[in-house]
Structure 1
Amino acid sequence: MSKRFLLRLAGFSLAIIGTCGILSSCQKKVGEVLVEKAIEQSTGNKVDISSGGQNITIQSEGQKIEIQGSESGVWPNDLPGEVPRFAWGKIKAVTRAEMPDGKSWVVVCENVPGNIIKNYEVLLKNSGFKTVSTIITSSDGEGGSVSGEKDKLKVALMAGNGSASLSVVREP
């Protein structure tokens, strides 16, 4: 159930970002309450949502999701040091999730040049990761994905059309 719950929370968190961006500052609290109630009704779990500026935190039963929007361009300082820094493009958003079965980060980047999958694969290997999968989706090498594992860390990079998403999961 925790994975299903996480997927629901992630979907609702996107709705929260849109809602909070549209509502004025005095209505943000009303928006938070409405979204909390919607999530609680769909999941059956108590949810607490708090926002500060463009950052949003959703907590429920030992699980926490944080969406960092106001510090775009900043590499997450709590990301495990073994994970190679993704140095292409500009960081647009960072999402963190804490659950009993681990912690995860997603770093979304824009203005990413093509042909970076093989470059990041080399960085993973040089950092001691075992490459699990590398897929190049176009003949010019612009899009694709690479994933690797090291101890209790799993890293996956997906890129294409000038965007990239780096996902990191640390198991307990």
Structure 2
Amino acid sequence: MREKKTVGRTCILSCEKRKADDTDINKDLKKAKLETKALKAKRPGFTDDRYNETSYYIENGLRKVYPYYFTFTTFTKGRWVGEKILDVFAREFRAHPAAEYERCIRAGTLTVNYERVDPDYRLKHNDLLANVVHRHEVPVTSQPITLVHIDEDIVVVNKPASIPVSGK
């Protein structure tokens, strides 16, 4: 009987301890969410204002977009925490060589929480990475997109081949 009580008491104690740990974790999660919301309020991206910054012109049957600056943003992924920013960009974003990302970090166009950092900066949870790039869009045909059919269930469009689409 005594042994059974001890086992029961141990279970109750460990459950209470676990509950306290869960509360601490929940507080940390709430804090992280609030920090994320604050950063998102400052986070540029795909807003109407950003799209209105770009303009295009028609030339030889092609629609061309004037070059423009765009800020790509992302929050630090869990697997990146503690790693050097340069190592993460060289590995995860392979559009450019590491030397180009190092140049951007040193020039201040690749920032953490909108502040300049060294290439050896180690990423922390919830850091907001922002990379300002000069974009040059590929020209597309200026042919109009026409509706072929529309009803309650389906919309059929005649989209010229050179115009990209998104799955959204």
Structure with larger Rg: 2
Give TM class, smaller chain: under 0.3
Q: Which has the higher helix share?
A: 2
TM-score, length-scaled by structure 1 = 0.26
Q: Which has the higher strand share?
A: 1
- The structure, 1 or 2, with the larger RCO (C-alpha pairs under 8 Å, 6+ apart) is 2
TM-score, length-scaled by structure 2 = 0.26
